[in-house]
Structure 1
Amino acid sequence: MKIKSLVIQDVGGISSLKLENLNPHLNIICGENGIGKTNIIESISACFTIYSPNELKKKADSNSGLIELNMTDINEGFKKIEYIVDVFYPREFNDNNTNYRTLYKFWENYSKFLMYFKADRFFSYQRIDSLKIHDDIEQHTKNNLKGVSRNNLKDWFIRNELLSKQAYTEDVNKKNIGYAKEFITLLNSNYSFSSIKQDMEIYINSPTGEIPYEYLSSGFKSCLFIMWGIIREIQIRFPNIEAKNFNGVIIIDEIELHLHPEWQNKICNVLKRAFPNTQFIVTTHSPHVIQTAEHNQVIALEGINGILNKKDLESARNGFSGWSIEEILTDVMGMRDLRTEWYRLTLSKFNTALDEENVESAKAIFSELETRLHPQSTELTLFRFQLKALTGE
């Protein structure tokens, strides 16, 4: 399953948005803060959620909202679904409501093909006293809008690692837990899985020796939550499928959360490599995430009063790998000024001193700039030249 296009009208803060020709592998949604990135991915998730009557709202001044989603099914071809917001809910279902019957059939067939990782990816220590034996598939497929839960993820890994040693364990489950262990090294070649010990803790080989899983950085654990979470969901939803063959949609809100810029720069490529048949739709505030993307993988949003458009990025038709962070921030993400207010005010004072030929003031301001700007700043070289021109020294 892949999503091809999306239309949103009067949902949340969005008055109108049309996204066409979504990339089958990776779509990175970015734009100004508050423009509606999370609203978009929750609109998609709502289409794959049976129990979402009170979680998605129409725009305040509208009678109803509409989400129109077009997708392809490798077995059945092109599919189209219309999701009406704040007009009918499951509690209003009746035999004459053909729209609801169509939607319910869509949910039954496709809800298991979508996973949504929300921005809440904080980790705290979890002690394992006993292992949960069974996961209810309905809890993992009927309410995608709530997002994939981190609860019992550590429990899941320990249980499957212990069971992988048993002869009766299905080969597909052995392969999937082996895949989960490989992710540790895929994220950082200096780390690898070590063992499960009697204290029911996961131990990791690290450059400083063997450490408990909880000792990993928050960024490392955030990545593992996503990658292990995907395998766990696949194992529950599709018991006979190897995780790397999953052919569905995975949505991740604020993919850069907890990640060092170096990891932000590689997380999307790691996910594509780990799950090559999956369509990822992610949101980000990070230029480092965008820097590794191709031209047709970035959806930069712009608009006024909820009327949103996809920004023309034809200047990056060969991708963003050669773009600087500053160029991405201004041309893609819409930042108007990359300097601090202190810098802008100080520069204004310096220019005024130059215009008024106030040598003493210009020297004092330049001295302050010299102490605060980067030693290799090209602007500092220009300011020094301007000061020499004023003083004649």
Structure 2
Amino acid sequence: MSSTIAELLRLTMSGNYIERVYAKEVRAFKEISVEFSKGFNFIAGENGVGKTSILAIISHCTNIRSFTESKFTENSELHFDAIHNNERIRCGHGEGSIKIGGYREDTLRLHNTPSDKGAENRRLLHAYELESKKINLSPLFIGAVRSISYLGLEGIKKENNKVHCQNQYRQASTMSLINGSGTSVKQWIINRYFIIDKGWAWEEKNNFEHFTSRLAKLAPFDSDFKYVDTGRDMEPVFELHGKKCYLEQLSSGFQSVLTIVTSIIEWIEKCNDEGSRDIRTASGTVIIDELDAHLHPEWQLRIRDGLEVIFPNVQFIVTTHSPHLIASAKENEVIVMRKSDDDTYDLKAESKSYSGWTTDQILKDVMGVKGLDNKLYAVLIDDAFDKLADKDIRALEESIVNLEKVTHPDDTICMVLRTKLAGLKAVSDEDIATVMMDTRGVVKSSLAARPTRGRVKSSLVARPTRGRAKSSLVARPTRGRARFDLTDKPAKEIEDETTEVTKPFDDLKVTD
């Protein structure tokens, strides 16, 4: 093998991460296979399709005490393929490893190693061997329930040894997904405050400085979130929007993010040897159920990049219901899970990015949300277009007003309807102007055509007609009042007086 190929292989295999998970007859799955990328992996899909079950399967592969939390059969098999310290490993439980007892009493019967099918050049390990052979394959599991823990301050807690910590993380993995877990943020910050000046705590000090200097990357835009200090009263102080605040005063979103980040830092420092605890270079797999929980949409757009800045070499496998998180993902990071009729799945990341998709498009096509359209909105639109087809100006205007009450100010359909309404009004005004011109012409012609005797005066009066009970305008001679002198006055004066007579028609409204 050439040195170039060997180097490429080394770079590809560097770090610790999960490549693939497989399960047969576990939970609701008949069979499932999921491929993961080395960086971020967002598992998305409709509710109840099995997103969290994938995370639970990974937990079962490393934990021999977690079987009461899932449904198995005696033919169940589950494992994951991983890269660990440049070695290819398959870890889990082979077929026949689980004995079926009573309700929630499934237990291990045989330590059958996973199947070697498709596992060329991989070391096969049963889950119990991770503990007995001291192999550091201990993903961090963070459940959907997250909050800052306010435990009684116990001073500086003694650090446990690395192997003990690895076993603790493996054993707590499934329950962390179900019940939630998290570092006591307050305790962690206070512990850090006391040790960072010690000569032996150089890694802890560097990690704390790296974390606090990048807090703004995790927060919503323009929030200017930063750590200030820990006071003499042992209260960590932060600054948000230019104002100082205590840990307890932060929103649930800030609490959630701080819990995630401090949990990851603590996990890295506890599960690695001295000299390998730098969070900028440490690798491993962090598994988070519902990463978007408690986060404002603007924050959801930022959290992915913020985590990557602080932990550039950590693999993240997360579930989400957020279209904003999906929009923040890059190519080959989104795994779309759609319901299978036979409960069989073969999943891998989509090769595209969803950054240009609208929220509605992601909700419908990625999350499987049905019935997203607003029924009232649809009814109002149909009503407005009916009025438009009838060319009923007044009714159309009323429909548009009702529609604008429930839509965004920039709604495209409302804009189109407003344009159509303006067009109808313009056409209507032209029709009225044409009628008025025709009316003036009739009056002038009638006045000019009538013969006069001497100084006979004419006026326009309304008189009833026979047959149909309507009024008509006719020109007839009148006695007494002289309106038009058609014999002695110049033509220009006659035209002016005619105009005076027709003025009342200028405001005439034409209706059907």
Separation in 2 of the partners of 1:13 and 1:349? Answer: 46
Letter in 2 for 1:266: R
Letter in 2 for 1:18: S
Counterparts of 1:202-213 in structure 2, within 5 Å, are: 202-213=236-247
Q: 1:252 to 1:381 in 2, by over 3 A?
A: same
Separation in 2 of the partners of 1:111 and 1:131? Answer: 26
Shift of 1:183: 4.0
Q: Which residue of 2 aligns with 1:79?
A: 90
Letter in 2 for 1:180: F
1:166 corresponds to 2:198 = yes
Q: Which residue of 1 aligns with 2:142?
A: 117
RMSD between aligned residues: 3.3
Match for residue 67 of structure 1 among 69, 72, 78 = 78
1:179 corresponds to 2:210 = yes
Contact 1:48 1:111 in 2 (8 A): no
Letter in 2 for 1:53: F
Query: Which deviates more, 366-375 or 143-152?
Result: 143-152
Residues matched between the structures, number: 384
Separation in 2 of the partners of 1:372 and 1:40? Answer: 40
Separation in 1 of the partners of 2:56 and 2:207? Answer: 28
Q: 1:239 to 1:192 in 2, by over 3 A?
A: farther
Q: Which residue of 2 aligns with 1:35?
A: 49
Unaligned runs of 5+ in 2: 1-15, 115-124, 429-512
Shift of 1:327: 3.0
Match for residue 145 of structure 1 among 171, 174, 180 = 174
Separation in 1 of the partners of 2:23 and 2:296? Answer: 33
Q: 1:221 to 1:372 in 2, by over 3 A?
A: same
Separation in 1 of the partners of 2:202 and 2:273? Answer: 11
Q: Which has the larger radius of gyration?
A: 2
Q: Which residue of 2 aligns with 1:8?
A: 23
Letter in 1 for 2:44: C
Contact 2:364 2:370 in 1 (8 A): yes
1:51 corresponds to 2:65 = yes
Relative to the length of structure 1, the TM-score reads 0.84
Separation in 2 of the partners of 1:11 and 1:296? Answer: 27
Shift of 1:379: 1.1
Shift of 1:281: 0.5
Contact 1:301 1:311 in 2 (8 A): no
Separation in 1 of the partners of 2:355 and 2:59? Answer: 30
Residue aligned with 1:375, SS: coil
Q: 1:266 to 1:231 in 2, by over 3 A?
A: same
Q: Which residue of 1 aligns with 2:508?
A: none
Query: Which deviates more, 329-338 or 357-366?
Result: 357-366
Match for residue 153 of structure 2 among 122, 128, 146 = 128
Residue aligned with 2:329, SS: coil
Shift of 1:356: 7.6
Counterparts of 1:223-372 in structure 2, within 5 Å, are: 223-240=257-274, 241-305=277-341, 306-308=343-345, 310=347, 313=350, 316=352, 319-350=353-384, 363-372=397-406
Q: 1:93 to 1:296 in 2, by over 3 A?
A: closer
Query: Which deviates more, 355-364 or 258-267?
Result: 355-364
Q: Which residue of 2 aligns with 1:155?
A: 187
Shift of 1:121: 0.7
Contact 2:287 2:316 in 1 (8 A): yes
Separation in 1 of the partners of 2:30 and 2:385? Answer: 44
Relative to the length of structure 2, the TM-score reads 0.66
Residue aligned with 2:332, SS: helix
Residue-by-residue CA offset, 1:338-390 (whole Å, 9 max, x unaligned): 43232233334445666788877655433311222122211112334566788
Q: 1:87 to 1:129 in 2, by over 3 A?
A: closer
Separation in 1 of the partners of 2:58 and 2:99? Answer: 17
Q: 1:249 to 1:110 in 2, by over 3 A?
A: farther
Shift of 1:116: 0.8
Residue aligned with 1:54, SS: helix
Query: Which deviates more, 65-74 or 216-225?
Result: 65-74
Contact 1:49 1:107 in 2 (8 A): no
Q: 1:358 to 1:340 in 2, by over 3 A?
A: same
Separation in 2 of the partners of 1:54 and 1:323? Answer: 41
Shift of 1:323: 2.9
Contact 2:148 2:185 in 1 (8 A): no
Separation in 1 of the partners of 2:96 and 2:307? Answer: 32
Separation in 1 of the partners of 2:330 and 2:184? Answer: 36
